[in-house]
Amino acid sequence: MKKISEVRSFGGRQLRYEHDSKVLNCVMQFSVFLPQAAAKQSVPAVYFLSGLTCTDENFSTKAGAQRVANELGLALVIPDTSPRGDDVPDDPEGAYDFGKGAGFYLNATQSPWSTHYHMYDYIVDELPALVEQELPLTAQRAIAGHSMGGHGALVIGLRNPERYTSISAFSPITNPTDCPWGHKAFSNYLGDDKDSWKQYDAVEIINANGQSLPIRVDQGLADGFLEEQLKPEALKSAITAANGDGEVHLHEGYDHSYYFIASFIEAQLRFHAKHLN
């Protein structure tokens, strides 16, 4: 991997890298924050998966996560949201909710998407193997995300409890098999067999397998996507029915934006730090 930028932040280092991804079959960029503690020893990492239209830079520049990450001795690993480049197919109408910037953290099975859109394998296997080999990171990981990335964090954490200690999400798409964003993405990436969609739906996964990792969700009640796309009550019901360890915090007046994320990122990082020990 090749470093493309480095700046100092709150005593730590904010880094950006580029590498050839075998899983995605294209060149990818990602960001990492290393706290000051990483100068002396390897540190655990919180992976943050961003939402529709984002790159790695939305979270690294807008969330204000570095101060608390440095205090807690946590690295932040911040991937892009889809494969990239001129060879990668995109939404034919240029819509923001499918294609580039909207990989939905799954492995596509349908042509032409299946050549590049394997974000599930990228986040679960390829990226951690790379950064843990090249940077002072332990194999202790937590996973977090926003909106489409909240869906990704829930699905990836729930399906891989041995790889993570805890899961958190801002405004996640909790039940993508039952909302317009999910229907559009899953029917294109995965085809018409709705049974194949369930492996990428947090509510379906909890209903089928229960929940073994602790979960914290923060959701703004003035979020314009709340009722049609996000459905936090579906996740809450699934957690309750599974008798799981999950908190869904509803916040009066907050919307879907990074102003909301910046307001509660400290709470989410402290939640992960407790479980990362």
Ligand X SMILES: N[C@@H](CCC(=O)N[C@@H](CS)C(=O)NCC(=O)O)C(=O)O
Nearest approach in angstroms of CB 200 to ligand X is 17
If one asks whether residue 257 binds ligand X (CB under 6 A), the answer comes out as yes
Choices 66-74, 85-93, 152-160, 254-262 (CB under 6 A): range interacting with ligand X: 254-262
Task: Give 107 or 229: the residue with its C-beta nearer to ligand X.
Answer: 229
Nearest approach in angstroms of CB 82 to ligand X is 13
Which among 109, 100, 55 is positioned nearest to 80, based on CA atoms?
55
Q: Are 81 and 153 in contact (CB under 8 A)?
A: no
By CB under 6 A, name the one of 105, 200, 258, 260 that touches ligand X. 258
Residues 243, 21: Cα–Cα separation, whole Å: 39
Residues 194, 104: Cα–Cα separation, whole Å: 16
Q: Are 69 and 48 in contact (CB under 8 A)?
A: no
By CB under 6 A, name the one of 15, 23, 46, 54 that touches ligand X. 54
If one asks whether residue 169 binds ligand X (CB under 6 A), the answer comes out as no
Task: Give 24 or 52: the residue with its C-beta nearer to ligand X.
Answer: 52
Choices 30-38, 52-60, 64-72, 214-222 (CB under 6 A): range interacting with ligand X: 52-60
Nearest approach in angstroms of CB 44 to ligand X is 25
Query: Which residues, 147 to 166, sit near ligand X by CB under 6 A?
Result: 147-148
Task: Give 9 or 229: the residue with its C-beta nearer to ligand X.
Answer: 229
If one asks whether residue 53 binds ligand X (CB under 6 A), the answer comes out as yes
If one asks whether residue 58 binds ligand X (CB under 6 A), the answer comes out as yes
Q: Is 263 exposed, middle or buried (0-12, 13-18, 19+ CB in 10 A)?
A: middle
Choices 46-54, 193-201, 208-216, 263-271 (CB under 6 A): range interacting with ligand X: 46-54
Residues 28, 121: Cα–Cα separation, whole Å: 14
* Sheet with 12-21: strands ordered across: 2-9, 12-21, 26-34, 75-79, 43-49, 137-146, 167-170, 215-220, 246-251
Question: Phi/psi of residue 224, each to 5°?
Answer: -65, -15
The helix-helix angle for 232-241 and 202-209 (nearest 10°) equals: 10
Active-site residues: which are they?
Answer: 147, 223, 256
The helix-helix angle for 148-159 and 202-209 (nearest 10°) equals: 20
Choices 26-34, 146-154, 162-170, 184-192 (CB under 6 A): range interacting with ligand X: 146-154
CA dihedral (224, 229, 233, 239) in degrees, to 10, reads -130
If one asks whether residue 52 binds ligand X (CB under 6 A), the answer comes out as yes
Task: Give 62 or 270: the residue with its C-beta nearer to ligand X.
Answer: 62
If one asks whether residue 75 binds ligand X (CB under 6 A), the answer comes out as no
Straight-line distance from the first to the last Cα atom of the chain, in angstroms, rounded to the nearest whole number: 29
Q: Give the residues lining the site for ligand X (CB under 6 A).
A: 51-54, 58, 62, 96, 146-148, 256-258
